Chain A
Amino acid sequence: MPKAQWLKGFGSRVALLSRYVSPSLLAASLVLIITVFALFVPPYIGMADNGDYFRVLYSNGLYFNNPEYDSLYLGYFNKAFGIFQYYNENGATLTSSQSLLIRLSVWVNQWFDKQVFDIRVQGALLVLLYTVGVYLFVEALTWKVKPKYGYWVAVLAVFLFADTAYTAYFNSFFSESMVWIMLIYLFASGLLLYRKRYPDYMMMIVFFISGLLLTTSKQQNAPVGIIVAVIGIIFIFVRKQRIYRTFVASSLVLLMLTGIATYVLIPKEFVNINKYHAMTRGVLMQSEDPEETLKSFGIDKQYAILNGSIYYEPYTTVDVNSQILENNFYNHYGFASILAYYVSHPDQAGKMMDLAAKNAFTIRPSAMGNYEKSVGKPFGAQSMFFSGYSELKKALAPKTFGFIIIWMLVVAGLYTAQFAAAVKAKHVRGMVRLPLILMLMLMGLSGILVSIIGAGDADLSKHEFLFTAAFDLVTFTAVADAICRNLWHDQLAEYESA
């Protein structure tokens, strides 16, 4: 009896809470508080530079103003950077939505300080954007759901979204922060459109802009634009008005073109690093006969000597950016030829996939530290504050490609019944959810494939961020829908009929 009483009391408390705070507002508020505490209360959490910063820094009017910067690489987070006070002769080395964010942050920073850029300004902007994103996402999953289920989802959302493995990226110049937030917006806007929670036009605009920013946030995300454009075709048929259909169709075409442009506009140096690894740490590494493999690409067999070597080797036989490699090595292969090679050598592709899966569940690369040097932590120390989810995931996820396949089949299978019902009912809006899930899965898969084809096994845990992010969002959605009894049947039809 006391148990029944307790449940009754709990139910009334939940009802009271739901009158003032919705699950989505609760989740967003808690994520905001925890993230602000992690990023803006000493000791500040951020990400150490792995040597990639200079690419985005100089082209956006910033420079390294810390004389001891060399000693910070990989080990310590640095929050202050100089703002160029004179003409910046460095052309844009990276065409990325990350540049937009940095320029906006620098502009805001200049209201307070014209000479020194504090990366926390960018962090603050991202936290605001993130909080809204989390709100929308949780709203998409808990809208019109019984409060007792909704709050469980909200609590789980805090566990995932406030994890510092994700939020530490906000205090960094890595584009992963942009990838993570835009992926949430993209998925949330799609789900909200499915739920018909907000006006369709508004959601399509969010869907389109987040897709655009996600595609251009990282060169590796070029396929994302194409995947979104293809799967997004279903959105065209959600409404019958010509204006709506024209708007959605033209947006999708633009997304596809953006994807292609992102691939084409990759700067040369960027290509060389990945191209080098794609061959030496990918194709050659798994080959039984590297000389024969090289011959199939039209490359001199002597290049077999580079097998297994990495771009970052401190002492090398040949300059990785030299003309000899340019003419006789890099010019002989590209993304397409390596893809074709893996297709014709599935055994090698399988081995690479398993290698990739080993790093696919790590959100935060172990190589980079989170603290400032002044905190006094050891070189490369990482914050354990609110990182339960990421640590659990790293420790428990079965790290094989087989598991990834099973996960995809199971999750897709869970949503198929509802999709089939919507098809049977010829209810297009109801059909949107499964393609959205598949879209995220394909994006994640593209993250793995692009990593392997584009850069072999080098920097896998950082390159596979898109997969780990997509995995988390899809898994969380499946769990939330299971909690809310939303997996099997189509509540949408009920809403619409109501």
Chain B
Amino acid sequence: MRRNHRWGVVLVVLLLLVTSAVLPAQVRAAAPSSFSSVLVVYDSLGMGMKQEGNVEALKRLLAAFHVQVTAESLDSYTAGSLSQYSKLIEVRNRSDFLDDNNDFLKDKQSYTGDFLYIGEKPGEKLVQSLGLQLQSEQKVADLQIGTFAQRSISVPYLYDSKQPGVKKYGELKVQAADLSYPYGIRKGANAYVPFMEKDTLSELALSYVLKDWLQENQEGHYFLVFKEIYPFSDLGLLEKMSDELFEAGIPFMVSVHPVYSNTDYPAMKRYINTLKYIQSRNGTILVEAPVVASTIQDLDRSLYQQTEHFIDALAQEGVVPLGMGAQMYWSYDEHYVSEGMAFFDSVILFPDTRQIYKAKRNRSTAFASSLYSLDSAFFQRYLTDDRHIASLPMDTAVTFDFVQKESELEGLIEGLKKSWIAFEDYKSEAHHVKTKINELGSDRGSLVLNGVSLGIQASHVETSSKYVYKQQGKKSFETWFTVQNQIFIVIIFITLFVFGGFLIIGYRMYKRKFYK
């Protein structure tokens, strides 16, 4: 018996060895480490209302705090799910929602974990634990938090608390009266925020509450990111921008659109050379997610292979991408996560512009490094003082669309030079990208390619347009056919000449015979 058992162990070990050797190792850079998870339950997405998009904005904020999010609507909530979570965020967008006897409410009664409520009517339990007191309703107020302010926003409810130990976030100054109330209130594991709207200051204000509520200790940094960079962008202008930013000592990142075909063309070489040049000017390269077509097609394309091919094409030329830029919904799609994002442990999640899911799920994938992205115009809109810019609670990418004209570039660079925002170098932190044949990353400010620290010196390179686009097929008997061709041409011409002669002779004979 014992002998049999030993043989069994040997067999299992052998089987494991064979399996690991034979089966292709799926490379996954984003090794799932222990990210904390949060359950977000919402009553409505507020479509067509001012709350529309706030759940999406909340998800994006949570991603920036490296949290794995599960988002459920009240309708799809299954009884007992709450017991698997220790952090719960409830979003209430509908004031007319009836608190029916639903599964979520029942589970919430016995829930004892961390709880954040976003909405107009906090439950009795939360009111008591935070000591919330309704101060006013339907007022126009100015919201201020950190170095940001937004004027004249309509606030449905204003709460305050006098309970000892509560921490208050932001300030809502009622315009008609000289009264101020907090935006967010937190005590220990419970927190309350009366409203949150996408693309308003309340989105940023919530991040302050979230940081403490999630007990995130990391300091937030700003990163400068340029988007809308294609192989057919003005590459000369891109190099010029890199020079200017380099001279001004501003580290920056470019999120570049990938190329999946014709990567051997001179046009691609020029694109890569420019990226290499950017890298030499202290720029960091990110791979932007491809554009997903909404058209119906039956083409068999592997996103995994295409992305890997692009990363390898960059790596081959010494360009080291350090992360991926994608719309937020990608992290909620099994297909995109496993096929497109699997190579990276660092991402920037941009706001969703058009969601085209392949395998949608309600749970997100968290990344070791995940930047919250903020459009530069949005950032400027709420900044009260250009000179004192405190960092946000999370790592934030301030994004610009790459300009198309030189005149626009001058204005952009000038603005950045004058800006008091301290942009960090993305390379100073560790990032990893891994394909089957390449391992790329950064380590304390330097780029690493397959374990070797990379010198980033590069200069402008002119790429020749000479390239054989069409391979000529192998020709046999070429001379033979050419000679044959010429012989036939001569024969045909002689024949035509002879026939012409016969025609003339025949015509003359005909005339002579009948027209005498």
Q: Which residues of A contact B (CB under 8 A)?
A: 49-51, 73-74, 287-292, 300-320, 322, 324, 328, 367
CA distance A74 to B233 in the complex (A): 36
- Map CB proximity to A onto B264-305 as digits: 1 under 8 Å, 0 otherwise: 011110110000000000000000001111011111010100
Residues of B with C-beta under 8 A to A301: 267, 465
Are A318 and B257 in contact, with the CB atoms below 8 A?
A: yes
Are B267 and A304 in contact, with the CB atoms below 8 A?
A: yes
Are A317 and B290 in contact, with the CB atoms below 8 A?
A: yes
- B259 at interface by CB-CB < 8 Å: yes
- B235 at interface by CB-CB < 8 Å: yes
Are B301 and A311 in contact, with the CB atoms below 8 A?
A: no
Which residue from chain A places its CB closest to the CB of B297 in the assembled complex? A312
Q: Which residues of B contact A (CB under 8 A)?
A: 228, 230-233, 235, 257-262, 265-268, 270-271, 290-293, 295-299, 301, 303, 306, 404, 465, 469-470
21 interchain pairs, CB-CB under 8 A? A74-B296, A74-B298, A288-B469, A291-B266, A301-B465, A302-B271, A303-B267, A304-B265, A304-B267, A305-B232, A305-B259, A305-B268, A308-B261, A309-B261, A314-B292, A315-B301, A315-B306, A316-B291, A317-B290, A318-B291, A324-B228
CA distance A301 to B262 in the complex (A): 14
Are A314 and B301 in contact, with the CB atoms below 8 A?
A: yes
CA distance A40 to B233 in the complex (A): 55
CA distance A308 to B257 in the complex (A): 18
Are B293 and A300 in contact, with the CB atoms below 8 A?
A: no
CA distance A301 to B466 in the complex (A): 12
CA distance A317 to B232 in the complex (A): 10
Are B262 and A314 in contact, with the CB atoms below 8 A?
A: no
Which residue from chain A places its CB closest to the CB of B268 in the assembled complex? A305
Are A316 and B465 in contact, with the CB atoms below 8 A?
A: no
Residues of B with C-beta under 8 A to A308: 261-262
CA distance A318 to B261 in the complex (A): 13
Q: A288-B470, A367-B298 are in contact. Are A315 and B261 (CB under 8 A)?
A: no
CA distance A310 to B233 in the complex (A): 20
Residues of A with C-beta under 8 A to B231: 302, 305, 317
Residues of A with C-beta under 8 A to B293: 311-316, 320
Smallest CB separation, B290 vs chain A (Å): 4
Are A51 and B232 in contact, with the CB atoms below 8 A?
A: no
Which residue from chain B places its CB closest to the CB of A313 in the assembled complex? B293
Q: A291-B465, A302-B231 are in contact. Are A313 and B267 (CB under 8 A)?
A: no
4 more contacts with CB within 8 A, not counting A314-B301, A317-B260, are A50-B296, A315-B293, A315-B301, A328-B232
Residues of A with C-beta under 8 A to B265: 304-305, 307
CA distance A41 to B54 in the complex (A): 52
CA distance A74 to B290 in the complex (A): 24
Are B303 and A315 in contact, with the CB atoms below 8 A?
A: yes
Which residue from chain B places its CB closest to the CB of A273 in the assembled complex? B295
Residues of B with C-beta under 8 A to A306: 262
CA distance A310 to B293 in the complex (A): 11
Smallest CB separation, B171 vs chain A (Å): 41
Are B260 and A311 in contact, with the CB atoms below 8 A?
A: no
Q: A287-B469, A290-B469, A324-B232 are in contact. Are A313 and B299 (CB under 8 A)?
A: yes
Residues of A with C-beta under 8 A to B295: 51, 311-312
Are A319 and B291 in contact, with the CB atoms below 8 A?
A: yes
Residues of B with C-beta under 8 A to A318: 230, 232, 257, 291
Are A315 and B267 in contact, with the CB atoms below 8 A?
A: no
Smallest CB separation, A473 vs chain B (Å): 31
Residues of A with C-beta under 8 A to B469: 287-290, 307
Residues of A with C-beta under 8 A to B262: 304-308
Q: Taking each of A307, A313, A320, which has the highest tally of chain B beta carbons within 10 Å of its own beta carbon?
A: A313
